[in-house]
């Protein structure tokens, strides 16, 4: 389990120039830590183990962005579900750790998906927070609130 009140990774103290717990106050309760330097991928990419591309569901007029072929390119819950389905995930009801399964959790606010977190083999969740840092967090509730809404979709696939 990660420490409470932000177990800050002292190797990378410079990653944020702001207090993450001000944006996500539940993190202070559930425990979290910074996990990596800023990098050019987003939460969808990271949840599918892609750290080279930014998976963009909006139509971009400029190159440098990726979206899986054949998936409707809009910010709908259905599109996000389809992205994970084509990568072997299926919907489930439980967020707890199940041996042999990898899970993702999609946060939804006002009917639109905002963020997706991935569960590690030890049960801790990892999240890429927009264009900046990755964090590890003990509970999905750590990121619920004003920015990301709440978890509405859980999906799992056999862990390889």
Footprint of other proteins (CB under 8 A): 18, 23, 40-44, 52-54, 56-66, 75, 114-115, 128-132, 147-148
- From residue 135, give the alpha-carbon distance in Å to each of 22, 27, 73, 116: 15, 10, 27, 12
With beta carbons less than 8 A apart as the criterion, state whether 137 and 24 touch: no
Task: Report the nearest approach of other proteins to the CB of residue 53 (Å).
Answer: 5
Between 112 and 121, name the residue whose CB sits nearer to other proteins.
112
Task: Report the nearest approach of other proteins to the CB of residue 24 (Å).
Answer: 8
Would you call 28 helix, strand, or coil by DSSP?
helix
Alpha-helix runs per DSSP H in the chain: 20-23, 26-30, 43-47, 77-85
Task: Report the nearest approach of other proteins to the CB of residue 40 (Å).
Answer: 4
Between 51 and 94, name the residue whose CB sits nearer to other proteins.
51
Task: Report the nearest approach of other proteins to the CB of residue 58 (Å).
Answer: 3
* Cα–Cα distance for residue pair 32/108, rounded to 1 Å: 21
Between 56 and 141, name the residue whose CB sits nearer to other proteins.
56
With beta carbons less than 8 A apart as the criterion, state whether 91 and 153 touch: yes
């Amino acid at each position: 389990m990660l420490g409470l009140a932000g177990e800050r990774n002292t190797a990378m103290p410079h990653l944020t120039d702001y207090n993450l717990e001000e944006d996500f106050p539940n993190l202070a309760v559930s425990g979290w830590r910074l996990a990596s330097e800023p990098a050019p991928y987003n939460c969808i990419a990271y949840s599918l183990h892609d750290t080279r591309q930014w998976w963009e569901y909006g139509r971009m007029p400029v190159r440098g962005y990726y979206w899986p072929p054949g998936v409707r390119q809009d910010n709908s819950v259905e599109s996000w579900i389809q992205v994970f389905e084509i990568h072997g995930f299926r919907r489930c009801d439980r967020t707890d750790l199940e041996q042999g399964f990898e899970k993702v959790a999609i946060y939804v606010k006002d009917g639109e998906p905002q963020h997706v977190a991935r569960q590690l083999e030890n049960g801790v969740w990892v999240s890429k927070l927009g264009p900046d840092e990755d964090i590890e967090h003990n509970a999905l509730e750590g990121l619920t609130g004003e920015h990301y809404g709440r978890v509405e979709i859980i999906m799992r696939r056999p862990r390889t």
